[in-house]
Amino acid sequence: MKRIYPMNGNKFIEKFIENIGKLDEINIKSVLESLENERKFFKIVFDYLDEGIILIVDNKVVFLNQKAKNLLITPSLTKNSYSLEEFKKNVGNIFLCNIICKSLEKNDCKTELIDRARENRYYQFEKFCVMEKVYIIKIKDITESKNMEFQLKNMESISALNTLAAGIAHEIKNPLTAIDLHIQIIKKAIKKKIVEASPEIIHFIEIIDEEQKRLTKIVNDFLTAARKRELNLSFEDINSYLQEIIKLIQPEIENNSIELVLEFNSIPKIFIDKDYLKQAFLNIFKNAIESMLQTEEAREKGKILKIKTFYDNAMDAVGVSIQDNGTGIEEEKIQKIFEPYYTTKENGTGLGLTIVYKIVKEHGGDIKVESEKNKGSTFTIYLPLSKGRKLITGE
């Protein structure tokens, strides 16, 4: 028998329903097979998409593509349709599940979300109504692009500093050196009683000396953040290297009754610029110590600085984590801490962590921060093995 029903969307379905009584079993079976083939085809297409697609009809979840299942963590969803209550019970990502359910009570929306509980995952979320009680929801994980955006912003800020570096070096640093030299001459002259000075004058000279040193540090930090440096690489054991750096802060650790916990694991050697990278680690160590001295809870329960080394197989990198139980950082401030001049310290230059970020990036590495207000912070530096080999070989 001749088939007269081409697959042409809604018109085909309407005509099929109108004429179903006229069709024999063979024709009905053929049409149903065609519909099933189309269903499978569109499922493959939707599963290939890089964003999660969810279809909700009359408060029932009737379709999720594979990406949506992955984002929502839904290994136990096997039925074709779920009530919202059933859906909630079978979803692992509670954050996205709650957002989906709340969105059904509101108008169409398109926004960006951040899930702090899952290592700051960023999502692009969109919900729109296609007809009464029929909603399509799109979710896309944009964490990688967001992180790249933050990194680019940091690198652009650092690049902008470069344009001022040369002028700052000549216009400020040279006069500061001259001021320091003359202050030392005056102090020696007073000490040797070549000139007489009252206690009040000596006090004023000390203040000038302290302020001059503080300004010199600001300028030096600025220049370190702004200048591009040629790395002087050597093949080092990070465990031994960190032991040497820790010796420099050991007196401060002991004087402030800080418990130092070292967890050094067996890791491969890597290429680093020893002097340059030392500045990054010292900055983080000192920040951790200062943070713990400001926390009442840490002072009462005990100040703990934990330093751990490990090898990350997925990144092919050596990792160093520095954990403290100090003041911590508020969630909304974490993304800003590497920006130039951003500081929460009364006397901070706002360049310490900018310098850390720059040094780590110039080693081809990465730095991640986990923090909770009044609980403490963990800074983790990753130094990849392959990047170090490329830097030394020039490949």
Q: CB of 312 within 8 A of CB of 382?
A: yes
Residue 242 forms part of a structural domain: yes
Question: What confidence category does residue 352 fall into, taking pLDDT thresholds of 50, 70 and 90?
Answer: confident
Q: Which two tokens stand for residue 11?
A: 């018109």
Q: CB of 337 within 8 A of CB of 255?
A: no
Statement to judge: residues 40 and 131 lie in one domain: yes
Number of domains comprising the chain:
3
SS3 80: coil
Residue 1 forms part of a structural domain: no
N- to C-terminal Cα distance for the chain?
70
Residue 3 forms part of a structural domain: no
Average pLDDT over residues 326-348: 76
Statement to judge: residues 182 and 203 lie in one domain: yes
Statement to judge: residues 139 and 168 lie in one domain: no
CATH value at residue 189: 1.10.287
What percentage of the chain has pLDDT greater than the value 90? Answer: 25
Statement to judge: residues 70 and 206 lie in one domain: no
Domain boundary among 124, 143, 162: 143
Statement to judge: residues 162 and 132 lie in one domain: no
Q: Work out the burial of residue 53: count CB atoms within 10 Å of its CB; fewer than 13 is exposed, 13-18 middle, 19 or more buried.
A: middle
Tally of helices (H runs) and strands (E runs) in the chain: 13, 13
CATH value at residue 369: 3.30.565.10
Name the pTM for this structure. 0.54
Residue 297 confidence (pLDDT) above 80: no
Query: Tell me: the pLDDT tens digits for 114-155?
Result: 887 777 889 999 998 888 888 999 999 998 888 888 877 777
Residue 295 forms part of a structural domain: yes
Statement to judge: residues 287 and 308 lie in one domain: yes
Residue 307 confidence (pLDDT) above 50: yes
Nearest in space to 242 (alpha carbons), one of 381, 352, 361, 145:
381
Residue-wise DSSP of 305-355? EEEEEEEETTTTEEEEEEEE-SS---GGGGGGTTSTT---STT--S-HHHH
Residue 2 forms part of a structural domain: no
Statement to judge: residues 75 and 53 lie in one domain: yes
Statement to judge: residues 121 and 29 lie in one domain: yes
52-57 vs 134-141, strand pairing mode: antiparallel
Question: What confidence category does residue 11 fall into, taking pLDDT thresholds of 50, 70 and 90?
Answer: low
Statement to judge: residues 258 and 384 lie in one domain: yes
Domain boundary among 198, 226, 254: 226
Query: Tell me: the pLDDT tens digits for 59-92?
Result: 888 888 888 888 888 876 677 777 888 888 888 8
Statement to judge: residues 279 and 299 lie in one domain: yes
Residue 4 forms part of a structural domain: no
SS3 280: helix
The CA distance from 54 to 130, in Å, is 13
Average pLDDT over residues 338-359: 74
CATH value at residue 28: 3.30.450.20
Statement to judge: residues 133 and 161 lie in one domain: no
Residue 337 forms part of a structural domain: yes
Mean pLDDT, the chain, whole residue set = 81
The CA distance from 120 to 320, in Å, is 20
Statement to judge: residues 176 and 124 lie in one domain: no
Residue 13 confidence (pLDDT) above 70: no
Residue 173 belongs to what domain range? 146-226
Domain boundary among 226, 253, 280: 226
